[in-house]
Amino acid sequence: MFERISFSAFLGIILIILGIILILLPILQKFAPSLEEIHPLLIIGKRVDGVYIGTSPLLIIILIIIYIFLLLKR
């Protein structure tokens, strides 16, 4: 009944979910705390002329781990 799905199908499902999240992001923003109240591990940024520019240290760490894993997998 439950077959193993291929990696490309799994990746497609993840991308669809991310797309739905990106579409709903403006709606969810009304209920979210301001960017200054978010934990520094989730987002670090700077406000420049009214525009908030930031990055996520947690995302960078996760991407480095994935990159190392893919290098070692070769």
How many CB atoms sit inside 10 A of residue 56's CB? 16
What is the predicted pLDDT for the residue at 18?
94
Mean pLDDT of 5-29: 88
pTM of this prediction? 0.47
Give the whole-angstrom CA distance, residue 39 versus residue 35. Answer: 9
Give one word for 54, left, alpha or beta, with left for phi > 0 and alpha for psi -120 to 50.
Answer: beta
Residue 14 binned pLDDT confidence (cut-offs 50, 70, 90): very high
What pLDDT score was predicted for residue 35? 61
Q: Which helix (H) or strand (E) holds 28?
A: helix 7-29
Q: How does pLDDT run across 29-73, given as a tens digit for each residue?
A: 787 766 667 777 777 878 888 887 888 899 999 999 999 999 998
Residue 2's pLDDT is: 56
